[in-house]
Amino acid sequence: MTFNVSCKMDAGIRMKVLRGGQLVDENNGVELDEDEFQHLIVMTSPQNPQWKWVAGLRLIFFAFLAVTLATVLFIVVKDYTQAQLTWLMQPVNKSQLLNLHHLQTNPPVGGNATSLDSSTSLDSCLIDDGWKFDCHPANVATADDCLNRGCCWKPLEVHNLPWCYYPLGFAYYVFTEFVPTKTGLRGSAVSTRASPYPKDVKNLNVDIIYETEDIVRIRITDAKNSRYEVPFEYSKTSYDKKPDILNYSVVTSRYGIQIFRSAEKTPVFDTTIAPMIYSNQYLEISTTLQTHYLYGIGESVDFLKRTTNGSRYVLYNHDRIPGSNTNNYGSHPFYMIMDKMGRSHGVFLANSNAMEITVQSAPSLTFRTLGGILDLRIFVGPKPRDVTDQYTQIIGRPMIPPYWSLGYHLCRFNYGTLNHTAEILQNNLQGGLPIDVQWNDLDYMHHSNDFTYDPVKFAGLPDFIDDIHSKGMRYVPLIDPGISSGEAKGKYIPYEMGVEMDIFIKNSQGHIFEGHVWNKKGTVWPDFSHPNVTHYWMRQLDSFRKRIKFDGAWIDMNEPSNFYNGEKNGCIKTSVLDNPPYVPRQIDGNTLYYKTICPSAKQAGGTHYDLHNLYGTQETIATYKALGDIVSERPFIISRATFPGQGRYGGHWTGDVVSNWEDLRQTIPQILTFGLFGIPMVGADICGFNGNATADLCKRWQQLGAFYPFARNHNTDDGIPQDPWSMGKDVFEAAKETLKVRYDLLPYIYSLFFRAHLSGRPVARALFFEFPKDVLTFGIDTQFMLGPGVMIVPILEENYTKNTIPAYLPKGFWYHHYYLNDVIESLGEVHDLQIPVHSIPILYQGGSIIVKQKGEQNTVLSRKNKFSIEAFLSSDDTADGEFFWDDGVSNLPKELVQYNQYSFKVSKNVLTMTTVFGGYDSSSMVLGDITVRGVRGSVTSAILNNVDFPFSFENKVLTLTNMTLQGPSGWTDGLTLVWS
């Protein structure tokens, strides 16, 4: 057993217990045995006759210490300011953090502390502001409230700092010695005092499981009683023994657990810094953070690099206009840390209860959740791509979307009629805009009821869908989870069948829970945790698809949203589920039932209190299974509410964003963050949803949105038409030009989704993800990468009229899409990039190889065109890439086999293409062009597959064109190009 404890003596001499039981006087570094330690306690006592002499020396010592601290403070402030200017963050220095070491060796057992107890001196409240952990996180605290909890009280004017905080050494639990098991370690934790929350769990089991060489799991559970746990199958691998090699080490003590990456001295996860609480409806655990470079935690409206100044992030799925400092549509208790050496790690808390995550400036992080268990996984990386790989091993790999879904989508709320829908679509098509999917919002329904369409306003909808199918396009309708409960008997089968199958959510009295959304009278909700709900949902979707041949599902309002606060008459005031002892401070509406279902409602899988955050993803799973059978093609589902695991079954759009410049900018960090969450199929409503976009805003949004992984134009019912054609020539030309580039890149983008499916890498990536050793990329969220090869530099300022825009380019060669002959050699600095007419700077990274295909008006047509291979050489004349291909629509079996994977490489004037996997018929695949950019010297010959081939060479560009290399004999069984 190892200890890491500091003891504060009356004489002010600090002692530390080191691992192995050695005691060290920190003032002189002398190791002491136990007898010497006890003698020192006597010698430094105020009752000792020699104390006055010691006290004099003490005054001199503290005077010297004050001068030293002032000097250190000056240096720290100076260095900190400089660090901020250069974006560099020093790792946490544990020796400077007093509260890493606990004072109490014998904490009191039982009962609420009524004051600072005898084992806690006033000095134990002298803690750096950044390391003050909130002892009273609720909205209102008084000095009496605080002191009654045994905590420190210090009112402050500084924003986001707690007034009531834990003293040094405060603990609610003590951990026992851990013993080895065949999968890791097992210990226990015993309550040593009552927390401020009801029903503390007195005895806990603590299991540390070495799941893989890079993933360690910490499960803290009630030793006597079972508690709710997230029902998803996170990681199906059976861990019956620990791995032979571990890339981490675990240190346990009576005050918590520390996880270290191998050969490192700073822990990636450390619970010893603050008390743990484990009551029935309030669980709290804290950890250090290695740096301030924190990412993840969502769904949040924030910068890509999360704010670490006391910010609170609330995770409780909720229908509202996306905003900061409150809860939004999804809940993702996962974060990633970067350090200045380019190393990364991640942490995931598998808990679906309402949650609050506080991040402090130390830096440190506190999880507060209102139920369930503490089930943590630490992913030690060490690269960002390793962390997302490890995370998606647990929550599930992202699905591969159907190819057509990567095209452009057109939608709005309240086209009003089918004729107007068709008119808007036709205007944009006639102008030459590529479009793959037409959508309809709520207004297509009859009385806003699911699985219906308006027989008057949308008469002829089946024929309209058949017509766009014949032209190679697809159709996606809105399908809300809420089912109308107010229709006449015998008139609405979805309700009556749900009652018969008993699959609707019940209230706490056991009656069907009734609220209200869009339906005229009332709304009930399917219980997507019910074992029979998938069968029910499939029958409704199947019946509807026999009437209209829709191709995917847009599932909205599934937080779930409710226009009532609970039922019509509210929720039960005396219920501890509807009104728990703690509610996250910044939750919208200040209650758990604001605009949603009462937490006390009953579901097959438990109470809505536990299952609320799962509702949208459980609906996605049911829809995915149903569409896979009904459509007999790869399902396409976009959901508003999400939870970890959503990416296995569907994508996400960022909801009702506002048509303004701030929301335009915010869509980038939101989309990049969802890539880290394992949901790469993500986008925002192009031009915004709420309000009216100006032509300038819509133009810039179209230019950016053309490169969202999910690209859809959509807006509200009371806004102006904002499809590209309706917004005017300038907007239309901008959309047309940027979508042309997107469609040319679709084979590359589709390959990125394959890579996401195989290893969890995002499609849209933050710069730090691709350049982890370049600290200057860590805070950039106004540019982004599509995979490793393409950089997007949008224009995010109103009335921007300059011909260039500054952008940071990491070290290496960069090729501008519109000025390809001018290679930019960057040393890792800001460059002014030329802005093309109607478009934005799009750059290719040197060292990339990208497969393209000339875009057409939709993907059915573009997939018939020849492929082209384009290599962009790096500073050392090399490049690599990969390319995946299949039919783009077939259902994917569990074992992915019907696809082709190709690997490309350029080295020493040789380009090679190798077939990595060949499970798809490639006979129709035709190669038309090969281009190599950045070739130095001269080229006098080009030999393709051992045959001299005509070529052109100009401005460092080698080009082979007008080829018709088809199928295995032409190129898909392998390709070699040699030039000299």
Mean pLDDT to the nearest integer, 559-567: 98
Of the residues 270, 436, 450, 559, only one is catalytic, namely: 559
**Residue 944 lies inside a defined structural domain of this protein:** yes
- Work out the pLDDT band at 316, boundaries 50, 70, 90: very high
Mean pLDDT to the nearest integer, 77-86: 36
Whether pLDDT at 115 is above 70:
no
Per the annotation, the verdict on 542 as an active-site residue is no
pLDDT of 237 reads 56
User: Which burial class, exposed, middle or buried, applies to 916 when counting CB atoms under 10 A from its CB (0-12, 13-18, 19+)?
Assistant: exposed
In DSSP terms, 808 is beta-bridged to: 830
- Work out the pLDDT band at 724, boundaries 50, 70, 90: very high
Distance CA 139, CA 383 (A): 39
**Residue 360 lies inside a defined structural domain of this protein:** yes
- Boundary-marking domain end, from 370, 395, 420: 395
Distance CA 408, CA 387 (A): 31
833 near 827, Cβ under 8 Å? no
CB-side exposure of 126: number of CA atoms within 13 Å? Answer: 4
CB atoms within 10 A of CB 540: 19
Q: Are strands 651-653 and 682-683 parallel, antiparallel or unpaired?
A: parallel
CB atoms within 10 A of CB 460: 13
175 near 189, Cβ under 8 Å? yes
What would the pLDDT profile of 318-333 be if each residue is shown by its tens digit? 999 999 989 999 999 9
**Residue 161 lies inside a defined structural domain of this protein:** no
Whether pLDDT at 2 is above 50:
no
**Residue 687 lies inside a defined structural domain of this protein:** no
Q: Which residue intervals of 559-694 are DSSP H helices?
A: 608-611, 615-630, 661-676
Amino acid present at 425 = L
How far apart are the two ends of the chain, measured CA to CA in Å? 67
Higher pLDDT, 90 or 329: 329
Mean pLDDT to the nearest integer, 287-294: 98
Distances 286 to 198, 601, 785 between C-alpha atoms, Å: 20, 31, 33
- Work out the pLDDT band at 548, boundaries 50, 70, 90: very high
pLDDT of 110 reads 29
Whether pLDDT at 19 is above 50:
no
Angle at 134 between CA 362 and CA 674, to 5 degrees: 65
Angle at 439 between CA 433 and CA 445, to 5 degrees: 150
Higher pLDDT, 71 or 307: 307
Per the annotation, the verdict on 299 as an active-site residue is no
**Residue 79 lies inside a defined structural domain of this protein:** no
Rounded-to-10 torsion of CA 59, 60, 65, 66: 70
Amino acid present at 74 = F
Mean pLDDT to the nearest integer, 652-671: 98
pLDDT of 547 reads 98
What percent of the chain lies above the pLDDT cut of 70? 87
**Residue 879 lies inside a defined structural domain of this protein:** yes
Q: Are strands 344-349 and 685-686 parallel, antiparallel or unpaired?
A: unpaired
Of the residues 556, 619, 723, 781, only one is catalytic, namely: 556
- Work out the pLDDT band at 91, boundaries 50, 70, 90: very low
Q: State the SS3 of 554-575.
A: EECCCCCCCCCCCECCECCCCC
- Domain harbouring 945, CATH code: 2.60.40.1180
Mean pLDDT to the nearest integer, 113-139: 75
Structurally, the chain folds into a number of domains equal to: 2
Whether pLDDT at 71 is above 70:
no
Whether pLDDT at 242 is above 90:
no
pLDDT of 51 reads 35
What would the pLDDT profile of 361-386 be if each residue is shown by its tens digit? 999 999 999 999 999 999 999 999 99
Estimate the crossing angle of helix 461-470 against helix 418-430, to 10 degrees: 20
pLDDT of 896 reads 79
328 near 320, Cβ under 8 Å? yes
484 phi/psi in degrees, rounded to 5 = -65, 135
Distance CA 409, CA 708 (A): 12
**DSSP state for residue 635 in the 8-state scheme:** -
- Boundary-marking domain end, from 366, 395, 424: 395
Distance CA 563, CA 520 (A): 12
Distance CA 498, CA 508 (A): 19
**Residue 827 lies inside a defined structural domain of this protein:** yes
Which of 112-121, 282-291, 696-705 shows the lowest mean pLDDT across its residues?
A: 112-121
Helical (H) or strand (E) element with 72: helix 51-86
Q: State the SS3 of 75-107.
A: HHHHHHHHHHHHCCCCCCCHHHCHHHCECCCCC
Owning domain of residue 324: 173-395
- Of how many residues is the chain composed? 980
Average pLDDT taken over every residue of the chain: 89
Within 8 A by CB and 6+ apart from 400, the residues are: 634, 753, 754, 756, 757, 892
pLDDT of 333 reads 99
What would the pLDDT profile of 181-216 be if each residue is shown by its tens digit? 999 999 999 999 999 999 999 999 999 999 999 999
Distance CA 504, CA 514 (A): 10
Which sign, positive or negative, has the C-alpha torsion 483, 484, 485, 489? negative
pLDDT of 66 reads 55
Distance CA 463, CA 850 (A): 39
- Boundary-marking domain end, from 361, 395, 429: 395
pLDDT of 68 reads 53
pLDDT of 390 reads 98
Report pTM: 0.88
453 near 548, Cβ under 8 Å? yes
577 phi/psi in degrees, rounded to 5 = -85, -45
Q: State the SS3 of 744-797.
A: HCHHHHHHHHHHHHHHCCCCEECHHHHCCCCHHHCCCCCCEEECCCEEECCCCC
Which of 108-117, 218-227, 680-689, 749-758 shows the lowest mean pLDDT across its residues?
A: 108-117
pLDDT of 238 reads 56
**Residue 684 lies inside a defined structural domain of this protein:** no
Q: Where are the beta strands (DSSP E) in 790-865?
A: 790-792, 804-809, 812-816, 819-826, 829-834, 842-845, 848-853
Could you tell me which of 933, 938, 935, 926 has the C-alpha nearest to residue 963?
926
What would the pLDDT profile of 592-646 be if each residue is shown by its tens digit? 999 999 999 999 999 999 999 999 999 999 999 999 999 989 999 999 999 999 9
Whether pLDDT at 658 is above 70:
yes
Q: Are strands 483-484 and 523-524 parallel, antiparallel or unpaired?
A: antiparallel
Whether pLDDT at 44 is above 90:
no
Which of 233-247, 251-265, 509-523 shows the lowest mean pLDDT across its residues?
A: 233-247
Whether pLDDT at 456 is above 90:
yes
Strand order in the sheet with 248-253: 248-253, 256-261, 267-270
pLDDT of 239 reads 64
What percent of the chain lies above the pLDDT cut of 90? 84
Mean pLDDT to the nearest integer, 481-504: 98
- Domain harbouring 210, CATH code: 2.60.40.1760
Which of 50-64, 341-355, 503-517, 766-780 shows the lowest mean pLDDT across its residues?
A: 50-64
Could you tell me which of 848, 903, 847 has the C-alpha nearest to residue 875?
847
Amino acid present at 839 = S
